[in-house]
Homo-oligomer: A and B are copies of this chain.
């Protein structure tokens, strides 16, 4: 039995390790897609467009590991919450990977046109989304509720930037018909970045649930 418990804890640590590996890949792909857009680097975008195999493999592996832990060890309380959280976080990270591909697709189209005057707040949206992702995964590792709550607060800033980016690009489009196509792609990029922030928010909510068994979804955040 002692050995069974030790084995379980090792397997649980491996599961968490794989999940973090996946988070690292997802974050790197978001970074590369935005960097490819900013630096007009088609090759870098190409690595995002063709490189989703490792993250897809990890997605399946994490699910299988979580399922096996549930089936073989029937974990309780904290461990059970950590495993259920891992299953959910796994879905979110896989979608972040897909969104990085969507950003790279829009960015590659964008680079085929004359550039819109400037990228406005898109690089800033990229850093915020990446920061939220990194912090939410850090919060998972450290079981840090404060850090998870800080991620929830960033989401409003990202939403506001998305709205502002939309308005500015719309102005360009209305003034100059040549900006319509590239501006459309930038609007799509900003929406993809906002959705990455949403997924980081989901991860942070799962961390709060995991640590506190408290469900913060669909409720306004508590006063600090």
Contacts and interface: CB of A to CB of B under 8 A. Distances in A.
Contact of A174 (B91, B170, B180): B180
Contact of A87 (B77, B87, B174, B202): B87
A84 B85 CA distance: 11
A185 to B, nearest CB: 11
B187 A63 contact: no
Interface string A190-224: 01000000000010000000000001011000000
Nearest to A90: B88
B70 A70 contact: yes
Contacts of A177: 174, 177
A70 B81 CA distance: 10
Nearest to A176: B177
Contacts of A188: 191
Contacts of A215: 60, 63-64
Contacts of A84: 66-67, 70, 87
Contact of A218 (B60, B70, B81, B184): B60
20 contacts: A59-B217, A59-B218, A60-B217, A64-B215, A67-B80, A67-B84, A70-B84, A71-B76, A71-B77, A71-B80, A84-B87, A88-B91, A91-B91, A173-B180, A174-B177, A174-B180, A177-B177, A184-B184, A184-B187, A191-B191
